[in-house]
């Protein structure tokens, strides 16, 4: 009986463990980014990647779920997000709920919901405030096949395109930025294969890239390991760093 039970467990776990080893992140395992500004922690993002089997013979798809908590300038926000995407990182749908309140208040005062759908060369974004479905605003925009998604403060989403960066030459990528309803072009340039980045007890060889979105006058740096995972991010006074046990 024990042998049969062990075999059943191995068969049940086998496909998930063996699937897409080049993806970098382990599936169904939580990871955490810390948000630090001027040396002080202002928030954290816990995120998890999953692989899902498609229905009725459809191809498998992938999911990125995250939870973000931040406090800055006396304001607290709590967000939960779910993004569905293909193996190449191209998004198909996204849902986010963010609750806001003042630090002095005990209850959240407002709720913002974002729903995004990528389909047939266009992206449709719906904003709902405080559950007012009738007053929801909707926008549509034509996008290319290789347009990624970057929603505000969702740097974990960058991991879907940092896998595509070239450590020897510049890379230009397009991301849809829903808050502006525009496609944001970001240029990445490898600067140096820097010293190993230490996270917990382990050291990870990384490449440091500079990035620039010229239209928004936005620049920064990211550190990416050999698996394409973004381990650290800096822009102005903000630093985002992966923490905890990493394998």
**Ranges of each domain in the chain:** 22-243
Helix or strand run (H / E) with residue 37: strand 30-37
Task: Supply the pLDDT for residue 9.
Answer: 32
How many whole angstroms from its chain centre is CA 167? 21
Task: Supply the pLDDT for residue 13.
Answer: 38
What is the rounded CA–CA span in Å between residue 241 and residue 223?
A: 9
The H-assigned helical ranges of the chain are: 2-18
Structure tokens at 140: 């549509």
Q: Which of 175, 181, 168 is nearest to 218 (CA)?
A: 175
Give 167's DSSP letter: S
Task: Supply the pLDDT for residue 72.
Answer: 81
Structure tokens at 148: 């990624």
Report the SS3 class of residue 88.
coil
Q: How does pLDDT run across 74-125, given as a tens digit for each residue?
A: 889 999 999 999 989 999 999 999 999 887 777 778 899 999 999 999 999 9
Mark the ranges of the chain whose per-residue pLDDT is less than 70. 1-22, 194
Residues 6 or more apart whose CB falls under 8 angstroms from that of 85 comprise: 61, 62, 63, 64, 91, 92, 149, 160
Let me know: does 150 contact 175? Beta carbons within 8 Å.
Answer: yes
What is the rounded CA–CA span in Å between residue 193 and residue 163?
A: 16
Report the SS3 class of residue 201.
coil
What is the rounded CA–CA span in Å between residue 81 and residue 22?
A: 24
What is the rounded CA–CA span in Å between residue 156 and residue 32?
A: 9
Helix or strand run (H / E) with residue 221: strand 218-225
Let me know: does 168 contact 94? Beta carbons within 8 Å.
Answer: no
């Amino acid at each position: 009986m024990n042998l049969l039970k062990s075999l059943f467990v191995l068969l049940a776990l086998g496909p998930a463990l063996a699937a897409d080893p080049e993806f970098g992140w382990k599936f169904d395992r939580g990871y955490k980014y810390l948000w630090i500004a001027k040396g002080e922690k202002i928030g954290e993002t816990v995120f998890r990647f999953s692989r899902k089997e498609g229905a009725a013979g459809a191809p498998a798809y992938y999911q990125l779920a995250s939870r973000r908590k931040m406090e800055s300038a006396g304001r607290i926000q709590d967000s939960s997000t779910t993004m569905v995407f293909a193996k190449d990182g191209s998004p198909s749908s996204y849902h986010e709920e963010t609750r806001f309140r003042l630090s002095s208040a005990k209850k959240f005062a407002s709720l913002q919901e974002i729903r995004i759908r990528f389909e047939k060369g266009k992206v449709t974004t719906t904003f709902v405030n405080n559950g007012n479905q009738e007053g929801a605003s909707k926008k549509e925009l034509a996008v290319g096949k290789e347009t990624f998604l970057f929603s505000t403060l969702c740097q974990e989403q960058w991991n879907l395109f940092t896998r595509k960066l070239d450590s020897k030459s510049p890379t230009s990528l397009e991301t849809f930025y829903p808050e502006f309803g525009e496609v944001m072009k970001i240029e990445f340039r490898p600067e140096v294969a820097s010293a190993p980045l230490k996270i917990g007890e382990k050291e990870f060889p990384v490449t440091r890239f500079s990035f620039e979105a010229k239209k928004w006058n936005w620049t920064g740096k990211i550190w990416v390991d050999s698996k394409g995972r973004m381990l650290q991010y800096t822009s102005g006074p903000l630093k985002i760093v992966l923490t905890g046990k990493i394998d």
